[in-house]
Amino acid sequence: MSRKRALIADTFCLTKRRRCAADSVTDGAADIRSSLQYLMTMFSRKLFNDSLPPVVLKHQLYSLHNDKTSVDKQVNELRENGELLMFQLGFDSEAFALVFAEDYRTKVLQGEAGRETLGTVEKFLAKLIPGCSDLSFNKEKMLKEFLFTDPEITQLVKSGVLTVRDAGSWWLSIPNSGKFIKYFIKGRKAVLGVVKKSKYGEILKTELEGRRTTSQVKFQMKYHIHDIMGAELVECIQTTSGTLLRYVDGNVN
């Protein structure tokens, strides 16, 4: 008689995990960078006339990788290296936007070309990109550490790289991102509505991807699907026909 010891985890969850559709779960050496690049291909550049860098939300990564803690760790590593920038978008305290630093720099400078704020913005980007991984800045930091003057700070707000947080502090922001946030929230609501209106409040992921999008949904369906899966606005259930998305009651968004 073999004396194999069962792990406690095994005895508590005795149904065998079903093999799920390959594209949604990757284990082992989770490569966040390639996942980010994959998600960024779903970003609709043309919609914003190419004025925005590709933006991805941090929780979209959770829909691709099982271990949220290691995703968080790797994202922080990339931020420390200066490869990735993170932004607090404002509509949800838990929703963070990620942009590759180089894309951000290119687009911002492209937008600033010919304006008088160009010089200040270049100075700000130089301070930001290799060294700083903060999401917001207060007056003291701007004046003492970064050595900006008050009029220069006003110029930065005007150019869109800073938005007001409260008296004397500013969030780091993506210029022209207002439209992005508006379309994003509308699109998310519309996609969630599709799931809710489906029979039994649930729909197969592959079927949702194939549905025609209404005029409310400006982004690619897949982009929104990764968003609602990662933010746990829908329950993801693995079935033999693939991933099933079930509407979760009590959603605010």
Partner 1 sequence: KEQTRDNDLNHNRDVDRIHGNGINTLDIEVIDGRYMLSGGSDGVIVIYDLENNSKKPQYTCKAICTVGRSSRHVHKFSVETVQWYPHDTGMFVSSSFDKTLKVWDTETLKPAEEFQFDGNVYCHHMCPIARKHSLVAVGTKDPKVQLCDLKSGSRIHILQGHRGEILSVRWSPRYEHILATASTDSRVRVWDVRRASGSLFTLDQHNGDKSKASSEAVNTAHNGRVNGLCFTADGLHLLTTGTDDRMRLWNSATGENTLVNYGKVVNESRKGLKFTVSRGCSPEFVFVPCGSSVAMYGLHSGQLITMLRGHYNNVDCCEFHPDYQELYSGGKDCNVLAWVPVLRQPDIEDDETNSKRGGAQAAINPAFEDAWSSDED
Q: What residue ranges bind partner 1 (CB under 8 A)?
A: 1-4, 6, 8-15, 62, 66-69, 71-73, 88, 93-94, 134-138, 165-166, 169, 231-232, 250
Q: Which is nearer to partner 1, 9 or 113 (CB)?
A: 9
Contact yes or no for 161/132 (Cβ under 8 A): no
Q: Which is nearer to partner 1, 108 or 228 (CB)?
A: 228
Helix (H, G, I), strand (E, B) or coil at 95: coil
Rounded to 10 degrees, the C-alpha dihedral 36/38/39/43 comes to 120
Q: Which is nearer to partner 1, 96 or 183 (CB)?
A: 96
Q: Which helix (H) or strand (E) holds 153?
A: helix 150-159
Which residues are 138's β-sheet partners?
Answer: 169
Q: What is the C-alpha to C-alpha distance for residues 107 and 174, in angstroms, rounded to an integer?
A: 9
Q: Which is nearer to partner 1, 50 or 67 (CB)?
A: 67
CB of 50 to partner 1, least distance (A): 30
Q: Any residues with CB less than 8 A from the CB of 103 and at least 6 apart, and which?
A: 53, 54
CB of 133 to partner 1, least distance (A): 9
Contact yes or no for 9/22 (Cβ under 8 A): no
Provide the b/e sequence for 110-137 (b: ≥16 CB within 10 Å).
ebbeeeebbebbeebbebbeeebeeebb
CB of 214 to partner 1, least distance (A): 27
DSSP code for 65: B
Q: What is the C-alpha to C-alpha distance for residues 16 and 121, in angstroms, rounded to an integer?
A: 55
CB of 234 to partner 1, least distance (A): 11
CB of 68 to partner 1, least distance (A): 4
Q: Which is nearer to partner 1, 217 or 225 (CB)?
A: 225
CB of 58 to partner 1, least distance (A): 10
Q: Which is nearer to partner 1, 55 or 71 (CB)?
A: 71
